[in-house]
């Protein structure tokens, strides 16, 4: 059997974990959400009873309450989710050491070497589902296929607690009638652009002219064409493999939907400072910057651009990331998650920015570098919250778990003394 890639997706993960600690929530429509007092707070996860009312992950709290006025809202307990994510991956590790997490509640597995011990991949998937359900009280949907993209499609195809086989014999029958937006890597804007080309289903994308797609979308056109045709041999990484040799990045899901450039800039500035600090600590610079954007319907796009020159400075990362966003994203569309990944890493001391001391631009960069290093030194000594840009410290897009204590004190109108008690 050639279909040895599994994609495991825990069903309503946040909500399911909360129900483990509060069993009474299993019998009522409930959802994990941001602050209910915030009109633009969003639904992070919901149980099956809430789903029957049409409550959708990623929609605003007020929209969910219009559909289900009696819904019970629970604030997220991120420590619990991390703990159970580790427990689930520990179960996966009984069947294979090739486990590649894709967020906190999803993982790819390669079980090619496990058949002699545990049976065929579908049997392994069924055993994993049974084990997770019996040992942890959670359910997981699993797609089984011959590549990672189709395996992920399979885990989305049937929920909850199901195994779906997407084989070389049936993938056209199952996947090709679906809208292109159901395919990984096809976000809303790409789907709209494809629609203008008369391409609305995955099958139509698979039969499209590859040259036209490449001309219209660049490398991304080739990527989605290959995805639709089941072309792709990306390996599942070994569990614990660190990608930091290739890239340094971070992503954040926000306490409410982001709307407009003011929100976008605050979010991207915070991410830029985070990845910049890591690169400075590692002594590397990047030559490419990728931005990932997830909308409220949980569709994600990723776009990449080369930097003007190797950099590890947050203002330059911010500038490139915002250039990508302004060219690829409609400012009127709300955003649930942003991510930045800095790739093409090289040692900082090998970067060719040692130009003439009379070069004004280089002098400005050296001043910027010294200033940022001074800021990071203060943060290293007194904590990251000791120096925070005002448009980040006073912005309400971050969850209280993400904000540093000093920002929370200002944000909630508390005195610093009270915040430290």
Catalytic sites, residue numbers: 106
What stretches of 105-169 show up as alpha helix (H) in DSSP?
115-118, 121-136, 148-157
Q: What is the phi/psi pair of residue 62, to 5°?
A: -65, -35
Closest CA relative to residue 276, chosen from 287, 264, 288, 284? 284
User: How far is 119 from 162, CA to CA, in rounded Å?
Assistant: 18
Cβ-in-10-Å burial (0-12, 13-18, 19+) of 328 comes to: middle
Say how far residue 308 (Cα) sits from the centre of its chain: 26
User: Residue 193 in 3-state DSSP?
Assistant: helix
**What is the Cα–Cα distance from 394 to 410, expressed in whole angstroms?**
7
Check: CB of residue 121 under 8 Å from CB of residue 98: no
Q: For residue 260, what is the DSSP state?
A: S
Contact 187, 299 (CB under 8 A): yes
Q: How far apart (Å, rounded) are the C-alpha atoms in residues 44 and 38? A: 14
Strands of the sheet containing 5-10, edge to edge, are: 99-101, 106-110, 5-10, 140-145, 163-166
Q: Is 343:288 a contact under the CB 8 Å cutoff?
A: yes
Distance CA(47)–CA(32), nearest Å, equals 9
| H runs (alpha helix) in 22-165 | 48-52, 61-67, 78-92, 115-118, 121-136, 148-157
């Amino acid at each position: 059997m050639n279909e040895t890639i599994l994609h495991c997706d825990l069903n309503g993960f946040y909500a399911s974990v909360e129900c483990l600690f509060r069993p009474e929530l299993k019998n009522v429509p409930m959802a994990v959400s941001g602050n209910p007092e915030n009109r633009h707070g969003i639904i992070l996860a919901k149980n099956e009873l809430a789903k029957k009312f049409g409550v959708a992950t990623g929609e605003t709290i007020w929209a969910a309450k219009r559909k289900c006025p009696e819904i019970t809202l629970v604030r997220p307990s991120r420590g619990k989710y991390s703990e159970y994510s580790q427990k689930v991956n520990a179960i996966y590790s009984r069947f294979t050491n090739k486990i590649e997490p894709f967020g906190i509640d999803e993982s790819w597995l390669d079980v090619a070497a496990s058949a002699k011990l545990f049976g065929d991949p579908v049997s392994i998937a069924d055993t994993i589902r049974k084990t997770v359900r019996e040992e942890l009280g959670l359910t997981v949907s699993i797609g089984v296929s011959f590549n990672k993209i189709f395996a992920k499609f399979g885990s989305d195809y049937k929920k909850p607690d199901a195994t779906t086989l997407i084989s070389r014999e049936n993938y056209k029958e199952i996947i090709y009638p679906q809208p292109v937006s159901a395919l990984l890597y096809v976000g809303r804007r790409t789907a709209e652009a494809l629609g203008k080309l008369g391409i609305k289903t995955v099958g139509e994308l698979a039969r499209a002219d590859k040259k036209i797609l490449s001309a219209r979308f660049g490398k991304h056109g080739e990527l989605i064409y290959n995805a639709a045709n089941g072309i792709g041999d990306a390996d599942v990484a070994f569990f614990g493999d660190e990608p930091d040799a290739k890239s340094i990045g971070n992503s954040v899901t926000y306490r409410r939907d982001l709307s407009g450039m003011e929100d976008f800039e605050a979010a991207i500035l915070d991410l830029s400072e985070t990845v910049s600090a890591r690169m400075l600590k590692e002594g590397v610079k990047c030559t490419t910057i990728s931005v990932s954007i997830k909308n409220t319907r949980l569709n994600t796009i990723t776009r990449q651009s080369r930097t003007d020159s190797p950099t590890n400075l947050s203002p330059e990362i911010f500038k490139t990331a915002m250039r990508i966003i302004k060219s690829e994203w409609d400012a009127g569309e709300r955003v649930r998650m942003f991510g930045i990944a800095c790739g093409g890493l090289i040692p900082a001391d090998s970067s060719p920015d040692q130009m003439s001391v009379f070069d004004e631009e280089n002098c400005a960069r050296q001043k910027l570098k010294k200033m940022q290093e001074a800021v990071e030194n203060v943060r290293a000594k007194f904590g990251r919250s000791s120096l925070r840009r005002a448009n980040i410290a006073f912005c309400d897009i971050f969850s209280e778990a993400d904000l540093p204590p000093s920002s929370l004190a200002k944000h909630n109108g508390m005195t610093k003394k009270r915040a430290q008690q």
